[in-house]
Structure 1
Amino acid sequence: MDVSEAFASLMSPEGRVDPYPAYERLRAHGPVVQAGRGLYAVTGHAEADELLRDARIRVLDGHLRDQFLPSWRESPALSSIARSMLRTNPPDHSRMRRLAAGAFTPRRIGAMREVVAAQTDELIDAMAATGRGGVPVDFMAEFAYPLPVGVICALLGVPAADRPLFRRWAADLTGALEPEITPAELAVADAGAAELRDYFTELVADRRRRPADDLTTALVQAHDSGDRLSGEELLANLVILLVAGFETTTNLLGNGLAVLLAHPRAADVLRQHPQHAPAYVDELLRFDSPVQLTTRTNGETVRLGGVEVPADSWILLLLGAANRDPRRYPRPERFDPWRAQLNPLSFGAGPHYCLGAGLARLEAQVAFPALLRRLPGLASAGQPRRRIRLTLRGYDHLPITVGEPQAATVGGAPAGTAIGSP
């Protein structure tokens, strides 16, 4: 299969549901390949990591987007994304990121562990009640969505009663992150973006009247204090902080649980020894990343992986493929939380490294041991359904049975002793 055929297989509905065979078809032609006119795909870990850290490599910001899609400002979805820190370059990116970074320091994230643990136990109790007697439960709806959306909404100051609104709006908006999107799909994304912008317009007005100790108030005050944040940037970043704050973690929880259920021996080790959760979460991120790709462009010609990439090319960094590069990870198709080196690229690298990566890791490190310990009979209950998305990989529906629950332990499950590889 030549490169164009391999790339077409990745973009097909089947490739979006399971991209890993297509990644290997592309990798067979090298770690960097030309996939079309002005389009290059990167499957190598070292090459992707290098590009993500290279100052000559930029995200597709509004100025660059003007060159090939001057009507982008008419799209609520594209404009929300393009005006946020997700799709801006320095100095604008540095300015916006600095304003939000205070909510995601290691100290603040560490202080949230007890809150995450308490929410985890509440959701497990609710699932146990819903799934009493072997009734199947949708893990995505009952746990994987409400846990991270509750955490990010608490940071932003979004009322608990409003949280159920965001799942559909965010799912619709994130369609605009796909490498290919039809006009009909863009219309759906625009509708979701418009709903989110309307919601945050009202929340911003409320925070001006009644400031609170939350990230929304901090960003509103940054806007109102002068030139640090424009009105469009304020709304765009609130939308992206919300969506990015739970979409990736929801997919990490769903993808991760599916992997653990498919590897019961490894799951049992984590159940007995929760102190190994950090290694497990990193391997889950590598094995089935919730973010499979990101895009960049180059301001000048670069040479990478033996390939010359001309200036102003569109570069597709296939993070899911890089995380399974056999040059970096021997037997990459094997789930192995005891690998000597991980450093998965699931949250990117360099200046655009995911601001909430530490929070996502914390939520998963708390959730998986608690789920396995408190629900020892946890099992699959039918055919799961994947979203037909490539950029953000996850499940629409993941049915499980919960079995007979165990009581919560104050302060979390007791740590076990160190052990060797499972």
Structure 2
Amino acid sequence: MDAADALTLLMSPAGRLDPYPTYERLRAYGPVVQAGPVFSVVTGYPEADAILRDARFGVMDDDLRDQFLPGWRESPAVLSISRSMLRTNPPDHSRMRRLAAGAFTPRRIAAMRDVVVAQADELIDGMLARGRDGAAVDFMAEFAYPLPVGVICALLGVPAADRPLFRRWATDLTGVLEPEITPEELAVADRGATELRGYFTELVAARRRAPADDLTTALVQAHDGGERLSGDELLANLIVLLVAGFETTTNLLGNGLVVLLAHPREAAHLAGHPEFAAGYVDELLRYDSPVQLTSRMSTEPARYGGVDMPAGTWLIVMLGAANRDPRRYPEPQRFDPWRPQIHPLSFGAGPHYCLGAGLARLEAQVAFPLLLRRLPGLALAGAPERRVRLTLRGYATLPVTVAGSPVTRRGTPAGAAGATP
């Protein structure tokens, strides 16, 4: 199998469901694989990390979209993504990011811990009630989705009653982030984007009538105050903040739970010693990243991994492959929360490093010890169903049983200092 065949396999349904064997086939050709005159794939950790930080590489701008996707302005999904901080370069990217960054400072995130614990406890109560008689409970629907969506919606000021709407809309919209998309899939993404744009248009109008202490009001006031945020940018960034605010964390929670249930010794240690949660979460991010890839375009000639990249080269940076680069992580296929210096690229690096990475980590660091402590009988109840996506890797359904678990609700214990297993 040559590099082109490996890429074809990676884009197939089977390749998307389990990309890791294909990553290794690509890695055999080097940390950077030239797949065309101006197209390369990056699987190496140091190369991916450096490229994401290199000012010579940026995200696809309007001129390039005109070249590769004619008529993109007619697509609500592509327009919504392209006008957000996710798909803009400096100085526009820097301007937009500054407006939202105040809601995600380390101090503000740390102050949200008690809120996250309370929401997680409440969701676990619901799982216990639904699974009391041994019935299977869908972890994705009952915990992995509602926890992060509740947190990000609280930041944005979205009423609790509206939160169940977003899962399908976001699932539809995020199809546009895949490296390949059919016209039929684009139509589905457009439908999700249209619903989200309509919702946030109404929320923006409501915040103009009655400002509140939330991120939506702050962004509306930035728009109304002058040149800092256009109308399209306002809606696009609200959509991206919502979708990115829970999609990645939802996938992290689902992927991570499956890994922990497959490693009962490590799971038992985490249940008794939540003070080690940060290392566990970083290793879970490395081991099965909820975000598998991102893309960049070179604006100047560059050379990485022995491959020359002229200006205009399109790069697919395989974050999931880089996280398993054996040059950076020995025995990368082994789950080991005690690895030294775990720095996964799951949230990217450089100027586009995920704005909500700290919040996602907090939610996972709270959720996993709490789930494992309060639900010692937690177990898979059949085969989980993966979403057939490559960029955003996660489960559609994850049936579990909670029989035999106690109903006590005491929050996350402080935990005594423990030795590594």
Task: Give the TM-score taking structure 2 as reference length.
Answer: 0.99
Deviates more, 1:121-130 or 1:308-317: 308-317
The equivalent residue for 1:396 is 396
The equivalent residue for 1:39 is 39
- SS class of match (2:234): helix
The equivalent residue for 1:167 is 167
For 1:23 and 1:281, locate their aligned partners in 2 and report how far apart those are by CA, in whole Å: 22
**Unpaired runs of 5+ in structure 2?**
none
Q: Is the aligned partner of 1:235 residue 2:235?
A: yes
Q: Cα distance, 1:35 vs. partner?
A: 1.9
Deviates more, 1:44-53 or 1:399-408: 399-408
RMSD: 0.9
Q: Is the 8 A contact 2:369 2:412 kept in 1?
A: no
- SS class of match (1:317): strand
- SS class of match (1:134): coil
Write out aligned runs for 1:34-73 (5 A).
Answer: 34-73=34-73
- SS class of match (1:290): coil
Measured against aligned partners, the alpha-carbon deviations of 1:180-220 in whole angstroms (never above 9, x if no partner) come to 00000000000000000000000000000000000000000
Write out aligned runs for 1:349-360 (5 A).
Answer: 349-360=349-360
For 2:60 and 2:76, locate their aligned partners in 1 and report how far apart those are by CA, in whole Å: 17
For 2:74 and 2:408, locate their aligned partners in 1 and report how far apart those are by CA, in whole Å: 50
The equivalent residue for 2:383 is 383
Q: Is the 8 A contact 2:274 2:412 kept in 1?
A: no
The equivalent residue for 1:250 is 250
Write out aligned runs for 1:38-187 (5 A).
Answer: 38-187=38-187
Q: Is the 8 A contact 2:121 2:411 kept in 1?
A: no
Measured against aligned partners, the alpha-carbon deviations of 1:312-370 in whole angstroms (never above 9, x if no partner) come to 01100000000000000000000000001111000000000000000000000000000
Q: Which amino acid aligns with 2:42?
A: V
Q: Which amino acid aligns with 2:403?
A: G
Q: Is the 8 A contact 1:208 1:217 kept in 2?
A: yes
- SS class of match (2:373): helix
Aligned-pair identity in percent equals 75
The equivalent residue for 1:12 is 12
Q: Which amino acid aligns with 1:125?
A: D
Write out aligned runs for 1:288-303 (5 A).
Answer: 288-303=288-303
- SS class of match (2:60): coil
For 1:407 and 1:108, locate their aligned partners in 2 and report how far apart those are by CA, in whole Å: 31
Measured against aligned partners, the alpha-carbon deviations of 1:76-104 in whole angstroms (never above 9, x if no partner) come to 00000000000000000000000000000
- SS class of match (1:181): coil
The equivalent residue for 1:373 is 373
Q: Cα distance, 1:62 vs. partner?
A: 2.2
- SS class of match (1:337): coil
- SS class of match (2:133): helix
Q: Cα distance, 1:39 vs. partner?
A: 1.4
Q: Which amino acid aligns with 1:246?
A: F
- SS class of match (1:41): strand
Q: Is the 8 A contact 1:62 1:83 kept in 2?
A: no
Q: Cα distance, 1:407 vs. partner?
A: 4.3
Q: Is the aligned partner of 1:26 residue 2:26?
A: yes
Q: Is the 8 A contact 1:373 1:406 kept in 2?
A: no
Q: Is the 8 A contact 2:293 2:316 kept in 1?
A: yes
For 1:289 and 1:185, locate their aligned partners in 2 and report how far apart those are by CA, in whole Å: 23
For 1:307 and 1:41, locate their aligned partners in 2 and report how far apart those are by CA, in whole Å: 10
For 1:98 and 1:397, locate their aligned partners in 2 and report how far apart those are by CA, in whole Å: 36
Q: Is the aligned partner of 1:324 residue 2:308?
A: no
- SS class of match (2:383): coil
Q: Cα distance, 1:143 vs. partner?
A: 0.3
For 2:407 and 2:141, locate their aligned partners in 1 and report how far apart those are by CA, in whole Å: 22
